[in-house]
Structure 1
Amino acid sequence: MAKPDNRKNNVERLKQMRENTIENIEAAEETMSHDMSDKDKRDIQEKNERRKDSIQAFEAEIKDEQADRERGEY
Protein backbone atom coordinates (compact mmCIF):
# COMPACT_ATOMS: atom_id res chain seq x y z
CA MET A 1 0.00 0.00 0.00
CA ALA A 2 1.37 3.43 -0.97
CA LYS A 3 2.05 6.06 1.65
CA PRO A 4 -0.35 9.00 1.53
CA ASP A 5 1.07 12.22 0.09
CA ASN A 6 2.22 14.43 2.99
CA ARG A 7 2.79 17.92 1.62
CA LYS A 8 2.94 19.72 4.95
CA ASN A 9 6.69 20.27 4.80
CA ASN A 10 7.07 20.72 1.03
CA VAL A 11 7.77 24.47 1.23
CA GLU A 12 10.51 23.99 3.79
CA ARG A 13 11.96 21.00 1.94
CA LEU A 14 12.01 22.90 -1.37
CA LYS A 15 13.62 25.93 0.28
CA GLN A 16 16.35 23.67 1.69
CA MET A 17 16.91 22.09 -1.72
CA ARG A 18 17.17 25.58 -3.27
CA GLU A 19 19.69 26.62 -0.60
CA ASN A 20 21.75 23.48 -1.16
CA THR A 21 21.82 24.19 -4.89
CA ILE A 22 22.99 27.76 -4.28
CA GLU A 23 25.75 26.44 -2.04
CA ASN A 24 26.77 23.96 -4.75
CA ILE A 25 27.03 26.79 -7.28
CA GLU A 26 29.20 28.80 -4.91
CA ALA A 27 31.45 25.81 -4.21
CA ALA A 28 31.81 25.09 -7.91
CA GLU A 29 32.73 28.72 -8.62
CA GLU A 30 35.34 28.56 -5.88
CA THR A 31 36.72 25.38 -7.45
CA MET A 32 37.02 27.17 -10.80
CA SER A 33 39.36 29.70 -9.22
CA HIS A 34 41.93 26.90 -8.92
CA ASP A 35 44.13 25.72 -11.74
CA MET A 36 42.12 23.43 -14.01
CA SER A 37 41.65 22.69 -17.67
CA ASP A 38 39.40 24.76 -19.88
CA LYS A 39 37.22 21.69 -20.41
CA ASP A 40 36.74 21.23 -16.67
CA LYS A 41 35.83 24.91 -16.32
CA ARG A 42 33.30 24.62 -19.17
CA ASP A 43 31.82 21.52 -17.55
CA ILE A 44 31.40 23.34 -14.25
CA GLN A 45 29.89 26.38 -15.97
CA GLU A 46 27.40 24.19 -17.81
CA LYS A 47 26.47 22.38 -14.62
CA ASN A 48 26.00 25.70 -12.83
CA GLU A 49 23.66 26.84 -15.61
CA ARG A 50 21.57 23.71 -15.05
CA ARG A 51 21.64 24.43 -11.32
CA LYS A 52 20.38 27.97 -11.96
CA ASP A 53 17.52 26.51 -13.99
CA SER A 54 16.76 24.21 -11.06
CA ILE A 55 16.69 27.17 -8.68
CA GLN A 56 14.08 28.85 -10.87
CA ALA A 57 12.01 25.66 -10.86
CA PHE A 58 12.33 25.39 -7.06
CA GLU A 59 11.15 28.99 -6.68
CA ALA A 60 8.11 28.39 -8.87
CA GLU A 61 7.25 25.22 -6.98
CA ILE A 62 7.73 26.97 -3.62
CA LYS A 63 5.32 29.67 -4.76
CA ASP A 64 2.74 27.07 -5.82
CA GLU A 65 3.09 25.06 -2.62
CA GLN A 66 2.84 28.20 -0.48
CA ALA A 67 -0.34 29.22 -2.32
CA ASP A 68 -1.82 25.75 -1.75
CA ARG A 69 -0.91 25.98 1.93
CA GLU A 70 -2.56 29.39 2.26
CA ARG A 71 -5.72 28.05 0.60
CA GLY A 72 -5.74 25.20 3.11
CA GLU A 73 -5.38 22.51 0.50
CA TYR A 74 -3.29 20.43 2.91
Structure 2
Amino acid sequence: MSKPDDRSNNKERIENNIGHTLQNMDEAKDYAKAHSEELSEEEMSQIKEKNQRREESIEGLREEAKDEAHNQKDV
Protein backbone atom coordinates (compact mmCIF):
# COMPACT_ATOMS: atom_id res chain seq x y z
CA MET A 1 0.00 0.00 0.00
CA SER A 2 1.35 3.45 -0.88
CA LYS A 3 1.79 6.22 1.63
CA PRO A 4 -0.82 8.97 1.67
CA ASP A 5 0.29 12.24 0.08
CA ASP A 6 1.34 14.47 2.99
CA ARG A 7 1.82 18.07 1.90
CA SER A 8 1.46 19.61 5.33
CA ASN A 9 5.08 20.79 5.43
CA ASN A 10 5.43 21.95 1.80
CA LYS A 11 5.46 25.66 2.64
CA GLU A 12 8.19 25.20 5.26
CA ARG A 13 10.22 22.95 2.93
CA ILE A 14 9.99 25.53 0.13
CA GLU A 15 11.00 28.37 2.46
CA ASN A 16 13.95 26.26 3.63
CA ASN A 17 15.01 25.74 0.00
CA ILE A 18 14.78 29.48 -0.63
CA GLY A 19 17.02 30.14 2.38
CA HIS A 20 19.61 27.62 1.23
CA THR A 21 19.59 29.01 -2.29
CA LEU A 22 20.08 32.58 -1.03
CA GLN A 23 22.95 31.36 1.14
CA ASN A 24 24.56 29.65 -1.87
CA MET A 25 24.22 32.86 -3.87
CA ASP A 26 25.92 34.87 -1.13
CA GLU A 27 28.71 32.33 -0.81
CA ALA A 28 29.29 32.36 -4.57
CA LYS A 29 29.43 36.18 -4.60
CA ASP A 30 31.85 36.20 -1.67
CA TYR A 31 34.02 33.56 -3.34
CA ALA A 32 34.08 35.48 -6.62
CA LYS A 33 34.96 38.70 -4.81
CA ALA A 34 37.71 37.09 -2.72
CA HIS A 35 39.27 35.25 -5.68
CA SER A 36 38.51 37.64 -8.53
CA GLU A 37 42.18 38.03 -9.44
CA GLU A 38 42.65 34.25 -9.62
CA LEU A 39 39.52 33.41 -11.59
CA SER A 40 39.32 33.54 -15.36
CA GLU A 41 36.64 35.56 -17.14
CA GLU A 42 34.92 32.28 -17.99
CA GLU A 43 34.86 31.18 -14.35
CA MET A 44 33.49 34.55 -13.25
CA SER A 45 30.87 34.36 -15.97
CA GLN A 46 29.87 30.86 -14.85
CA ILE A 47 29.41 32.06 -11.27
CA LYS A 48 27.28 35.00 -12.42
CA GLU A 49 25.19 32.76 -14.69
CA LYS A 50 24.63 30.22 -11.94
CA ASN A 51 23.52 32.96 -9.55
CA GLN A 52 21.13 34.24 -12.22
CA ARG A 53 19.61 30.75 -12.48
CA ARG A 54 19.40 30.64 -8.69
CA GLU A 55 17.54 33.98 -8.70
CA GLU A 56 15.06 32.64 -11.25
CA SER A 57 14.61 29.52 -9.15
CA ILE A 58 13.94 31.62 -6.04
CA GLU A 59 11.23 33.54 -7.90
CA GLY A 60 9.53 30.28 -8.78
CA LEU A 61 9.89 28.93 -5.26
CA ARG A 62 8.36 32.10 -3.81
CA GLU A 63 5.34 31.72 -6.09
CA GLU A 64 5.07 28.08 -5.07
CA ALA A 65 5.25 29.05 -1.38
CA LYS A 66 2.42 31.56 -1.92
CA ASP A 67 0.33 28.83 -3.55
CA GLU A 68 1.02 26.45 -0.67
CA ALA A 69 0.10 29.10 1.89
CA HIS A 70 -3.14 29.75 0.03
CA ASN A 71 -3.87 26.01 -0.20
CA GLN A 72 -3.22 25.52 3.52
CA LYS A 73 -5.78 28.24 4.32
CA ASP A 74 -8.34 26.43 2.19
CA VAL A 75 -7.90 23.15 4.06
> Into which bin does the TM-score normalised by the smaller protein fall?
over 0.9
SS in 1 for 2:16: helix
Q: Once the 2 structures are TM-superposed, how far is the Cα of residue 5 of structure 1 from its aligned partner?
A: 1.4
Q: What residue number does 1:3 align with?
A: 3
Matched, 1:53 2:52: no
Deviation at 1:62, TM superposition (A): 0.2
CA shift digits 1:15-52 (9 cap, x unpaired): 00000000000000011111311110000000000000
Q: For residues 48 and 6 of structure 2, what CA distance do their matches in structure 1 show? A: 36
Write the distance in 2 (CA, Å) between the matches of 1:2 and 1:53.
Answer: 34
Matched residue, 1:63: 66
Quote the residue 1:16 is aligned against: 16
Distance 2:54 2:40 in 1: 21
TM-score, normalising length: structure 2: 0.91
Superposed structure 1 runs of 4+ greater than 6 Å apart: none
The count of residues paired between Structure 1 and Structure 2 equals 72
Which residue in 1 is equivalent to 2:39? 36
The gaps in structure 1 that reach 5 residues or longer are none
Aligned residues: percent identity? 36
**Greater mean deviation of Cα atoms: 1-10 or 47-56:** 1-10
Structural RMSD (CA): 0.8
